[in-house]
Amino acid sequence: MPNNKDFSPEILDKLNALQKKYAAMGQDISSYLDGLLYADFLTYWDYINLDTLLNLQQPITPYPDEKVFIIYHQITELYFKLCLHEFDRVAQSVEAGELTPAFLLERVRRINRYFEALTSSFDIMVDGMDAGEFLKFRMSLLPASGFQSAQYRKIEICSTSIDRIAHQNHREKFSNPTIEDLPLVFKHLYWREGASELKSGTKTLTLKQFEKKYDRDLLDMAEAYFSANIRSAAASLDFSSDDKFKDELRHEMRWLDVNVNINWTLAHYKSAVRYLQRNPEDIAATGGTNWQKYLPPRFQKRIFFPELWSEQELEDWGKTWVKKEIFGINS
């Protein structure tokens, strides 16, 4: 039988620490050590549920590129989940009264990295599918649409004050809203009008499905993040002791605005132009959404942090990207 001499001081210190931990909770450490003794070694595939993950792709047509379409959208939603994880950490820090410039800066940097990875990979959607196959299998997806990504709507809510994502026709009216104003402003968010029938202006089935499933959840999130969104959190900070963080945070917040409201939306627009733009009449999106007016930033002018941009920058919002990526003009 082993005795204390058979164990290094480091092992004995850890065993004593574990015994104190479990004793404080009224637990018998020997039972947990038995569990450790009999447990199998963890594997990579079990830890990340790899077999489940690789079986989540269920195409509904025989076209091979539908699997590309599914996998890319699943990857996108996982990146969105990473973003929301960082937003949640900001909210927890705000609630605990522990938010610092350095902590917020790191969270925004991480979110920017996730969106940059997404945008740089979007060529998979633009050039990575056969156009003929896509135009066929997409008709089997009706009325589903990427418009129905609730996680993307949550990212918008977590990024800025609710008035900044209201439709631009209502934005000025709802500026500086109180928490009591949220239900009213929520009815006029920009994306509701982006999912109206092109001809009649009535709600699409896509929008009706989305509202039924997510409206309550999104409104609850808007209330929870009223003072914890990135815009409000940054405004609450005291930078008097370190202007360096203020400049760096300003830079990262500007990039967050560009990444979410220009680069990401216009990557979608570029894809829509390739697959759906036809003469004399463009092809409608699967959800019936008005993609021609819904996606380009110059129409909606979704800007999370207008106070960080000059009047000229606000006026030219999104135009440079369109000139370069759509028309090949480098100016």
**Predicted TM-score of the model (pTM):** 0.87
CA distance 113 to 119: 10
Where does 66-326 sit in CATH, by number?
1.20.58
Rg (CA), the chain: 25
Supply 255's token pair: 């990039």
- In this prediction, residue 277 carries a pLDDT of 61
- In this prediction, residue 124 carries a pLDDT of 85
Q: What are the extents of the domains in the chain?
A: 4-39, 66-326
Kindly tell me the burial class for residue 146, based on how many C-beta atoms sit within 10 Å of its own C-beta (0-12, 13-18, 19 or more). Answer: middle
CA distance 231 to 242: 19
How long is the chain?
A: 331
Return the exposure string of 116-135: e unless at least 16 CB atoms fall within 10 Å of the residue's CB, then b: eebbeebeebbeebeeebbe
- In this prediction, residue 327 carries a pLDDT of 53
The tens place of each residue's pLDDT in the chain, 331 residues long, gives: 556 667 888 999 998 999 999 999 999 999 998 888 898 899 999 999 999 999 999 999 999 999 999 999 999 999 999 999 999 999 999 999 999 999 999 999 999 999 999 999 988 888 888 988 988 998 899 888 888 999 999 999 999 999 999 998 899 999 999 999 999 999 999 988 777 776 777 888 989 999 999 999 999 999 999 999 999 999 999 877 667 789 999 999 999 999 999 999 888 777 766 666 654 454 455 545 555 565 666 667 899 999 999 999 998 888 775 555 555 566 5
Place of tokens 């489940």: 52
181, 174 in Cβ contact below 8 A? yes
CA distance 99 to 287: 40
DSSP labels, 87-136? HHHHHHHHHTT---HHHHHHHHHHHHHHHHHHHHTTHHHHHSS-HHHHHH
Phi-psi region of 176 (alpha: psi -120 to 50; beta: other; left: phi over 0): left
CA distance 97 to 237: 11
CA distance 118 to 76: 7
87, 103 in Cβ contact below 8 A? no
CA distance 256 to 263: 10
